Amino acid sequence: MLNTFEVPALIEDALPELHKPLRQFPAIFHLYETMECLRDYTLRQWRDQNLPTVEQCFRVMERLYERGNQRVREAVERIIIPGISHAEINGQAGCIRLFSLVPASLYNLFICQHLKDHHHARS
């Protein structure tokens, strides 16, 4: 099981461009800030339509979720899933494009969050 101390290294190995942002705070002690960094980077890449990098970010999230201990998994569920579910999506095509990039192990979480957010927006 991947623990909180291993999360920054896993992210940096897959996304070296996050090395400096993750080093701005002692990430090993700040799991939520580390997840926010990954979430925000993913959202920037989505806004820039850098889809290969978005896909790579999703693979990192998948590894964190599948290999992480309970604390890591909860951080993915509480920070990353809702944040990505709130991504600006341009119509149905954008929604389909975004969700086509989501790995299978996270797909149900994203869909449930997206539907929940959409339902609350209508209420």
**Number of structural domains found in the chain:** 1
Burial class (CB in 10 A: 0-12, 13-18, 19+), 89: middle
Q: Is residue 117 included in any domain, yes or no?
A: yes
The per-residue pLDDT for 26 is: 66
Q: Is residue 111 included in any domain, yes or no?
A: yes
Q: Is residue 2 included in any domain, yes or no?
A: no
Q: What does R_g of the chain's alpha carbons equal in angstroms?
A: 14
Range of the domain at 98: 7-122
- pLDDT 10s digits, 48-95: 999 999 999 999 999 999 999 999 999 999 999 999 887 877 777 887
**Comparison of pLDDT for 73 and 119, the residue scoring more:** 73
Q: What is the token pair recorded at 91?
A: 């119509």
Predicted TM-score (pTM) of this structure: 0.88
**Comparison of pLDDT for 110 and 53, the residue scoring more:** 53
Q: Is the predicted pLDDT of residue 23 greater than 90, yes or no?
A: no
Q: Is residue 41 included in any domain, yes or no?
A: yes
Alpha-helix runs per DSSP H in 3-123: 7-14, 19-22, 31-47, 51-67, 70-75, 81-85, 91-101, 104-122
- Per the CB < 8 A criterion, the answer to whether 27 and 7 are in contact is yes
